[in-house]
Amino acid sequence: MDLMQILDDVLLIPESSKQLLASHFEMLQGSKGQVLFRTQTIGRSLYFLSQGLARAYTLLDGLEVTFWFGWEGSPLLSMKGYVAKEYSYEDLELLEDSVLFRIHADVLQGLFASDIHIANWGRVFAEKELAKAEERLISRQVKTAEVRYRELIATYPDILLRAPLRHIASYLGVTPVTLSRIRANIS
């Protein structure tokens, strides 16, 4: 997915503003297993995943708990680092070799201050990310793991080919054995 499409998917803004915003992103190559930011660091960059797959996780009692997956078009950031300039509570790992676009938070804030269209783009971006976070939280609280699994594969059918099953099980809040049972029941 190219940067212009990613930016347009957030909000259509005038071409001159979009070009200005895009000119401040840099394209990077990331390797499978690379961690973009770690717990107890302050992540001050916003990434967009052009190609690849990523996950956010945290350690709980020595076990990795995956709570988010990102694929083509997804933003990758630590909201605590980006918004509050505080230490991240998660690690963000690339699960595939990836192509990313990166912009530093301070540069983006400067663009927000100088261009109302980019500021509106940023507001809509934040609103969409908040809505997604709320949806994940509510889903985790009120839906069964089987329902969440069905929704995950309906929305992202290739996730089973791209992410290790242990990460998917962790994301669903179940053991790999329970995930196997869920998959067997569905087949």
pLDDT tens, residue by residue, 92-114:
999 999 999 999 999 999 999 99
Under 8 Å between Cβ of 173 and 140: yes
Query: How confident is the model over 26-64, as pLDDT tens digits?
Result: 999 999 999 999 998 888 899 999 999 999 999 999 899
CA dihedral 98, 99, 101, 105 (to 10 degrees): 20
Can you list the domains of the chain with their CATH numbers?
Answer: 3-142 (2.60.120.10)
Alpha helices in the chain (DSSP H): 3-10, 15-22, 79-84, 105-114, 116-142, 145-155, 159-162, 165-172, 176-186
| Residue 91 predicted with pLDDT over 90 | yes
